[in-house]
Amino acid sequence: MIRGAPVVALALACGWPMTARGAEPLGPSDPRETGALVMRGDDRLVGGEAPSRVQIAGGPVSLNLVEVPLPVAAKAVFADTLGWGYSLDERASGTITLQTGGPVSRESLLRMFETALASRGLSLRRQGRSVQIVPAGAAGSEIRPVEGVGAESGAVVVPLRWISAAEMQAILSSVAPREVVLRADRARNLLILSGDANQIRVLRQTIAVFDVDWMRGMSTAMVPV
């Protein structure tokens, strides 16, 4: 039996008019008619890439260093190009290859050199316009803040706004290198990161992806009932 058939038969027998009716909205089309408060978002649900904090004055530069001794590479990058002071830990040795492939910004050159050092098990300690090249293990052995020219290494405190410190710690633990130290202060909702400058930069970029106001990009409405 077709549901609703008795009702149709009764209507036909009684001569009731039957007209097709389209679907009607449950409420007024304009939410203002009910005094509803509508807050429209921008549909952007993910935070953008965190801007680099490293800012070094000067125009683009290019270098082509192929398997040169570490002291020669350090002099070419820091003394000759950036005009910084530098020193080498007595345990830091070996050769470095650094080819920019054309003019790059000085910030990019610094990041490329840090990556080249990391491939040799080395890292940078920076203080103002002075740097020290040390073995990677030595850079994370002591927890202390190091302020560079817009860069960070050593121990860095990162306050969180939208995500809990415990949850962010769990996310970073799955991607952070083993030598990086991650500590969560749940009472103040902040993270303490310890590593070299390149590791800190990558972790900050990861945090910027997750520590966002997810409700900001959504449209919401408060409707009285």
Helices (H), the chain: 5-14, 70-74, 106-119, 136-139, 165-173, 197-210
> Of the CATH numbers 1.10.260.40, 3.55.50.30, 2.40.30.10, 1.10.10.60, which one belongs to the domain with range 64-210?
3.55.50.30
Q: Over the stretch 89-140, which tens digit does the pLDDT of each residue have?
A: 888 888 888 887 778 888 888 888 887 887 778 888 887 788 889 887 664 4
Q: Between helices 197-210 and 165-173, what is the axis angle to 10°?
A: 120
Q: What is the DSSP string of 32-50?
A: GGGT-EEE---S--S--PP
Q: Over the stretch 141-186, which tens digit does the pLDDT of each residue have?
A: 333 333 333 444 455 667 888 888 888 888 888 878 776 767 787 8
